[in-house]
Amino acid sequence: GNPDIMSLLLEHKQADPNIPDNGGLTPLHAAVKSGWLDLVRSLIIDKRVNLNIQCNVGSTPLGIAVLRDKPEIVKVLLDDERIR
């Protein structure tokens, strides 16, 4: 997970940061699942990123962070006003 590359990709206004992979994971889901705190921070700077989006099994990025015991990521997500 390279935050610099992700930031570069997000500079393109046509890029949709919420498109899931074949498993239903968005880039934010994948970053949370992998524990990549810096990448999570880079992604949520972009207001287009849906912090409440569910993957194929219904998990949100916050839910994954809790289940995977990622307290720093939980805090970063909860500090964002978009979390419901």
CATH number of 3-78: 1.25.40.20
Residues 6+ apart with CB under 8 A from 31: 1, 39, 40, 43
Closest CA to 68 of 41, 39, 33: 33
What's the pTM? 0.87
pLDDT in tens, the chain (84 residues): 556 666 666 676 778 999 999 989 999 999 999 999 999 999 999 999 999 999 999 999 999 999 999 999 999 999 999 998
Terminus-to-terminus CA distance in the chain, angstroms? 26
Q: Are 77 and 49 in contact (CB under 8 A)?
A: no
Ordered by start, the domain boundaries in the chain are: 3-78
Our CA angle for 61, 64, 68, nearest 5°, is: 140
